[in-house]
Structure formats: C-alpha cells, structure tokens
Amino acid sequence: MKNSNILNNDYFCIIMRIDIITVLPALLESPLSHSIVKRARERSLAEIVIHDLRRYGKGKYRQVDDYSFGGDAGMVLMIEPVYRLIEELKKERPYNEIIYTSPDGIPFSQKEANRISCLENIMILCGHYKGVDQRIREHLVTREISIGDYVLSGGELAAAIITDAVVRLLPGVLTDETSALTDSFQDGMLAPPVYTRPADFRGWKVPGVLLSGDPAKIREWQEEKSLSRTKQLRPDLLHNTGNG
Ligand code: SAH
C-alpha cells in the first residue's frame, strides 16, 4: 500500500521512505537535519529513519562486528544483526532497493540519484571497519553504490550524500529559487556561472547581458556558458551516456 497524502498545494504526492542502517547514528543526524533535507522531512515529503544497528547486536555488549576469517586485520560487520534488522523492516513494507555503500559499488551520479528519487522505499546500509560480511552483499543487498574512488572510514557520509542528492529531487522539495533543472549534470552539462548584487564590486563587473532584462538573451548566454564550461572542464560529459 502506497504512503500518500494530499498536500496544501493540491497535488498528490508519494512520501519517499529512506531507512538508514548504521553503527554511528550520530554521524548522520546533522547532515540530515538542515537545509533542504530538513524542509523535506518537515513537510512530510521524505521520511528518513536512522536505525542504530547496535540495538540488534549480540549479547550484553551488543556486539555487531567480529574478526575476519582468514586472519586479516580489521573488524567485519556480522550478518545476524543486519539480517534481523532488515527482515524486521521488510515485514513492515516492501523495499524497492537495499543499497550498500561501498568503494567497489557503481559510481554515484546524478542519473542514479534521479532513478532512486522515483522509488518509494529504500534502505541504505552503511559499512564500517573492514566492511560487511560478504553474505550480506550477496543475499540481502540489491545495489552497491560508491561515492568516489577513495576509502572512507564508514558508509555514513556516503549515505548522507546519496540521501541529500535524492531528497532534493522529490516533487515539492525544491522551490523556484533552488530548482534542480538548472543544476549541473541534470542535462549532461555543467551549470552556468551565477552572480548577485552588487553588479559592480571594485570594478569586477557582472556580465552585462544578465542585467539586460531580456530573458531570451539571458537564456542563450547561459546555454553558451554551460556548453563552454563543460567543454573546458568536463568534456567527458558531452560523450557520456551516463553511468549507473
Ligand atoms: N575494506 C573496504 C573498505 C572499507 S571502508 C575496501 O577496501 O573496499 C568502511 C566502509 O566505509 C565500507 O564498508 C563502506 O560502507 C564505506 N565506504 C568507504 N569508502 C566508500 C566509498 N568510496 N563510497 C561508499 N562507501 C564507502
């Protein structure tokens, strides 16, 4: 059954639900409690629930990690707590995707953010230490996403990045001032430069066309700048069919 409600501004909207599984809930609280994501949550356009994996840990010490078989250095997140939490969540609603954040996942992109923003319920599992027991990846996870070719200490910052990029695309989250359509990557190009007052700061002037009041001319200038910046800075985008 779809979660839905009628908003004040008269359109029918599905609330996206994002469940994030972590051993460090505190790391996620701040990035998901400000600005656009905060507004989306307050306006019930996105429901974001952070789960402390430790609550599902084993024994008195709520153990969630153990030494890796084979004797390599570093702890590995155990399968049982993750399995129990995921199964409990799955009983409550169907999930379109169970994402694991991982350096060897598919590279995160605007295209992937657009795709995820059309889903209804997703989980994001944050790894820690050496990673998670491989059987979690094989049997429970449906998508593995990397935010770049470097290694973080845990998946929390990656989960925050994915959540932020997705939530701002949900219908009703962005206002005209923050519209996603003019952002970089949305049409395979970088965004044009932007300026604000004053029009002249110590002789550093805003391009005259932006002050002309002629929307067609302004649009043409912006498109030209988008193209030249993309050619100069990210020529790969012009040939790219997108990843993910
Ligand atoms: N041993 C792993 C790295 C573990 S880092 C390896 O070499 O591939 C600990 C956790 O941080 C990972 O389980 C993952 O959830 C997260 N992480 C680290 N780098 C990441 C990246 N580039 N993108 C997404 N998640 C990342």
> What are 128's strand-pairing partners?
154
Q: In the predicted model, what is the mean pLDDT of the chain?
A: 92
pLDDT given for residue 179 in this prediction: 77
Q: State whether the beta carbon of 131 lies less than 6 angstroms from ligand 1.
A: yes
Domains of the chain: 16-167 (3.40.1280.10), 184-241 (1.10.1270.20)
Q: Model confidence over 144-159: pLDDT tens digits?
A: 999 999 999 999 999 9
62: left (phi over 0), alpha (psi -120 to 50) or beta: left
Q: How distant, in Å, are the alpha carbons of 21, 78, 138 from that of 82? A: 8, 7, 13
pLDDT given for residue 12 in this prediction: 52
Q: Return all residues near 217 (Cβ < 8 A) that are at least 6 apart.
A: 209
DSSP characters for 111-126? HHHHHHHT-SEEEEEP
Per-residue exposure over 73-103, b if at least 16 CB sit within 10 Å of its own CB, e if not = eeebbbbebbbebbeebeeeeebbbbbbbbb
| Atom number, ligand 1, closest to the C-alpha of residue 104 | 8
Q: Which two three-digit tokens encode residue 31?
A: 């990035």
How many A from CA of 14 to the centre of ligand 1? 31
pLDDT given for residue 156 in this prediction: 98
Q: Whose CA is nearest to atom 23 of ligand 1?
A: 146
Nearest 5°: phi and psi at 171?
Answer: -55, 130
Q: State whether the beta carbon of 127 lies less than 6 angstroms from ligand 1.
A: yes
The mean pLDDT of 190-204, rounded to a whole number, is 97
pLDDT given for residue 71 in this prediction: 84
Q: How confident is the model at residue 180 (pLDDT cuts 50, 70, 90)?
A: confident
How many A from CA of 152 to the centre of ligand 1? 6
Q: Model confidence over 120-147: pLDDT tens digits?
A: 999 999 999 999 999 999 999 999 999 9
